[in-house]
Each structure stands twice: as structure tokens, then as C-alpha cells.
């Protein structure tokens, strides 16, 4: 059998595919963070908690209201987005003129509170959430079995990521947004409601986290603590890609998922650290990140 670095090529391809699936999650979460940071200059530490809320809401919808996965896919991000709008209107709004640190501290505090509330209500071990029946089973790719649900996750996240990139970089709405953050006073003078635009941006950014949460619910255990592990990695992804760079965060997310997957084969003990090693190296060589522009 052909081998790559002493690993059979089939196993190698399998790990690449799995890395791609994880990368899809990283991409979607870091995209939301990048949008929020790029437009609002807020380092949103509540992102992981809101991802968890997305998963929790879809579980609660099923448990208490019998609402299935497909509706949850729409409803849960809206619920999380509304929560985000409330947070932005009532709290974050006052911090835009201050140092980044204040936004970071506020959102970090919020994350602890949100996680604490859910843990208090539902315990720490979480609950299972089943994927819809049409995703039961696996695709036989020849070199591995790929669960249908994971294939769907990659597809869904690719569509969402590209759509977001397109809206922000290629449409008029996106142009308003970018202009609004560059020079809010001037844009307002043209009759555009900048504060509303900012609220919507934050709501959209955390809505993406909520959507990632729904997508993750059938794969991982739905629990109050699910966001706290992933958020640190996602931050590293954003830093490597370049804070605020939309395409950068998408590509970096996918690439790091794959690198992490390969590390799990060659040196599994380091799989939780490899992202941070790369982050340190990138920061040394390109402090603005791979896709970021120095200001």
C-alpha cells in the first residue's frame, strides 16, 4: 500500500477529510468573530457561549416544543441573534469609544454568566440531540466512511461562509457597513442609520455562532460547557488569519482544522497545542496575521 510519511494513504485521506469537517466549524465561528471585530472593534469573548446557546436552544425546541432540526436551523440563530441585539443595544453600545479591553472584559463576563445559568439549569454532562433521519448512515468514499451528517456540515458551512463574504465585500449593504465603520459620522450624514447597522452586524455575527451551534448539536454533546473549549481555538484562528479579515478567517479555519487533524495522527499528544504553536510563529513573522493588513 502507498504511504505518506509512514501513514497508509487511506488513513491519511481519512484524517484530511475529518480535519476539513472540523475546519468548517472553525471557519464559521471565526467568521462571526472576524465580522464583529472588523465592524465593531469588539473582541467578542461571548462567542463560545452564544454558540452553546444555539445548540441548547435547538435541543430545548425539540424537547419542550417538538420542533425539529430543520426549523431549529432557522429559529435558533434568530433567537441567538435577538439575544445579541439586546446585548449590543444595552451594553456594548457604551464601550465603542473605550479601549478594546473593556469590550473583552464585558463579553467575557457575559460568557461566564450565560454558561453558569445553563449549567445551573441543565447540569454539566449535557444531553444527546439526534440528527434528522435522512442523515443517518455513511457515504463510502473508498478510503473511509464519511457520516452523511458531517458531509452536510461541510456543505452548509461553505455556503454560509461564501454568502457572508459576498454580502460584505460585494454588495451595497456591505459597502455601507464597511464605510460606516471607517467613518460613521460621514456615512450618517448621507442618511444611513449607522447605529442600527451596527446592531444588525453584531446580531448577524452571533447568529452565525448560533447556527454553528445547531450544526454542532448532533455531533457533540449539547452541554453548557461545549463553547468554552472551542472558543480559545477559534480565537487563535482569528489571530492567525488576521483580525477582521473575512476571507482570511474562512481559509485559516479550514487550514487549521486540517493541520490539527494531521497532528492527531503524527503526534496526538500535541493536537490541542498545535494551533497555538502556529499562532505564536505567525505573530512573530506577520503580527497582523496571514491575511491582515497592518494599519
Partner 1 sequence: MKRKLMAVVVSAALAAGMSVAQAQEGKLSDDVVKIGVLTDMSGVYADYGGPGAVAAAKMAVADFGGKMFGKEIQVVSADHQNKPDIAKNVTLQWFDRDKVDMTVENLNSGVALAVSALGKEKNKITIINGAASARLTNEDCAPATSIHYLMDTIALGNVVGKAIVKDGGDSWFFLTADYAFGHSLEKDTGDVVKAAGGKVLGAVRHPLTTEDFSSFLLQAQSSGAKIIGLANAGANTVNSIKSAAEFGITKKQSLAALLMLITDVDAVGLKTAQGLYVTEGWYWDMNAETRAWATKYEAVMKKKPNSNHASVYSATLHYLNAVKAAGTDDTAAVMKKMREMPINDMFAKGGKVREDGRMVHDMYLFQVKSPAESKAPWDYYKLKGTVKGDDAFQSLANSRCPAFKKV
Chain positions contacting partner 1, by CB under 8 A: 8, 10-11, 14-15, 18-19, 21-22, 116, 119, 123-128, 130, 137-138, 144-145, 147, 149-150, 219-221, 223, 225-226, 229-230, 261, 264-265, 268-269, 271-273
Report the alpha-carbon angle 134-18-145, nearest 5. 50
Question: Of 96, 75, 82, 73, nearest to 159 (Cα)?
Answer: 73
How near is the Cβ of 125 to partner 1 at its closest, in Å?
Answer: 4
Q: Which is nearer to partner 1, 106 or 131 (CB)?
A: 131
How near is the Cβ of 150 to partner 1 at its closest, in Å?
Answer: 8
Distance CA 39, CA 272 (A): 30
- A 10 A CB-CB count for 271 gives 16
How near is the Cβ of 113 to partner 1 at its closest, in Å?
Answer: 13
Distance CA 94, CA 151 (A): 42
How near is the Cβ of 131 to partner 1 at its closest, in Å?
Answer: 8
Q: Which is nearer to partner 1, 1 or 285 (CB)?
A: 1
How near is the Cβ of 264 to partner 1 at its closest, in Å?
Answer: 4
Q: Which is nearer to partner 1, 21 or 168 (CB)?
A: 21
How near is the Cβ of 106 to partner 1 at its closest, in Å?
Answer: 22
Cβ atoms of residues 34 and 249 within 8 Å: yes
Q: Which 3 state secondary structure label does DSSP give 41? A: coil
Q: Which is nearer to partner 1, 99 or 269 (CB)?
A: 269
Q: Which is nearer to partner 1, 47 or 264 (CB)?
A: 264
Q: Which is nearer to partner 1, 93 or 119 (CB)?
A: 119
Cβ atoms of residues 203 and 84 within 8 Å: yes
Cβ atoms of residues 260 and 19 within 8 Å: yes
* Three cell numbers, residue 231: 472558543
Residue 171, phi-psi category: left (phi > 0), alpha (psi -120 to 50), beta (remainder): beta
Q: Which is nearer to partner 1, 17 or 199 (CB)?
A: 17
Q: Is 165 exposed, middle or buried (0-12, 13-18, 19+ CB in 10 A)?
A: middle
* Residue 125 vs residues 51, 144, 222, 225: alpha-carbon distances, Å: 17, 30, 8, 9
Handedness of CA 164, 170, 172, 176 (dihedral sign): positive
How near is the Cβ of 74 to partner 1 at its closest, in Å?
Answer: 24
Q: Which is nearer to partner 1, 236 or 265 (CB)?
A: 265
- A 10 A CB-CB count for 72 gives 24
Handedness of CA 139, 141, 144, 146 (dihedral sign): negative
How near is the Cβ of 288 to partner 1 at its closest, in Å?
Answer: 28
Amino acid at each position: 500500500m502507498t504511504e505518506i510519511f509512514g501513514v497508509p494513504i487511506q488513513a491519511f485521506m481519512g484524517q484530511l477529510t475529518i480535519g476539513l469537517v472540523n475546519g468548517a466549524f472553525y471557519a464559521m465561528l471565526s467568521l462571526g468573530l472576524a465580522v464583529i471585530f472588523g465592524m465593531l472593534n469588539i473582541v467578542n469573548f461571548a462567542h463560545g457561549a452564544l454558540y452553546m446557546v444555539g445548540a441548547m436552544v435547538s435541543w430545548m425546541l425539540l424537547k419542550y416544543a417538538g420542533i425539529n432540526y430543520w426549523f431549529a436551523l432557522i429559529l435558533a440563530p434568530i433567537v441567538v441573534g435577538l439575544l445579541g441585539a439586546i446585548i449590543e443595544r444595552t451594553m456594548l453600545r457604551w464601550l465603542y469609544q473605550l479601549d478594546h479591553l473593556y469590550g473583552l472584559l464585558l463579553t467575557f463576563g457575559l460568557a461566564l454568566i450565560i454558561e453558569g445559568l445553563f449549567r445551573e439549569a441543565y447540569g454539566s454532562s449535557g444531553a444527546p440531540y439526534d440528527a434528522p433521519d435522512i442523515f443517518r448512515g455513511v457515504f463510502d468514499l473508498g478510503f473511509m466512511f464519511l457520516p452523511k451528517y458531517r458531509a452536510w456540515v461541510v456543505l452548509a458551512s461553505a455556503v454560509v461562509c461564501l454568502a457572508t463574504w459576498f454580502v460584505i465585500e460585494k454588495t451595497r449593504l456591505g459597502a455601507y457597513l464597511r464605510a460606516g465603520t471607517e467613518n460613521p459620522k460621514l456615512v450618517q450624514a448621507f442618511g444611513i442609520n449607522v447605529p442600527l447597522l451596527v446592531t444588525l452586524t453584531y446580531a448577524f455575527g452571533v447568529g452565525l455562532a448560533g447556527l454553528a451551534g445547531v450544526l454542532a448539536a448532533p455531533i457533540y454533546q449539547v452541554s453548557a460547557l461545549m463553547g468554552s473549549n472551542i472558543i480559545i481555538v477559534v480565537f487563535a484562528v482569528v489571530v492567525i488569519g488576521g483580525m477582521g479579515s473575512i476571507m482570511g478567517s474562512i481559509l485559516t479555519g479550514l487550514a487549521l482544522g486540517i493541520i490539527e487533524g494531521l497532528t492527531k495522527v503524527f503526534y496526538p499528544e500535541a493536537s490541542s497545542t498545535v494551533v497555538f504553536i502556529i499562532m505564536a510563529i505567525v505573530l512573530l513573522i506577520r503580527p497582523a496575521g496571514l491575511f491582515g493588513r497592518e494599519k
